[in-house]
Amino acid sequence: MHDFRKLNIWNDAMDLAVRVYQLTNELPPEEIYNLSHQIKKSVVSIPSNIAEGAGRNSDSEFNQFLGFATGSSYELETQVLLSERLNFLRSEDVNPVIEELHSLQKRIYNFKKFIKK
């Protein structure tokens, strides 16, 4: 069992969630129950899966939940990019979030390799 609050990837995923929640305020009101909801669900899923995996009984189970977190991060990336293509979000707002997300994806992947050993 790991203390998820001490994991940099969890803390960074929490920071990303706050940033993305703020970004969804830019979406049109008619998207509040559609794209906005999906984006929020995806971004919350990232640190949630890291935390849930950290509480599991084995590193193998933890690795599985890190995979779920990674999947949620790609889902989030798709939704944010779709919001940009639909001109709901501006590139200058989306690009830093995507960069932060890519960094987090890489670090989750590296952490998965680390706990597999």
* R_g of the chain computed on alpha carbons: 15
Separation between Cα atoms, residue 68 and residue 51, nearest integer Å: 11
Q: Tell me the per-residue pLDDT of 59-74, one tens digit each, with 9 for 90 and over.
A: 999 999 999 999 999 9
Domain ranges of the chain: 4-116
- Label residue 100 exposed, middle or buried (CB < 10 Å: 0-12, 13-18, 19+): middle
pLDDT, position 103: 98
Question: What CATH architecture applies to the domain 4-116?
Answer: Up-down Bundle (1.20)
Helix, strand, coil % in the chain, rounded to nearest 5: 80, 0, 20
Question: Could you give the CA distance from residue 68 to residue 3 in angstroms, rounded to a whole number?
Answer: 18
> The pTM is what?
0.95
Residue type, 65: F
Note the pLDDT tens digit of each residue in 12-53.
Answer: 999 999 999 999 999 999 998 999 999 999 999 999 999 999
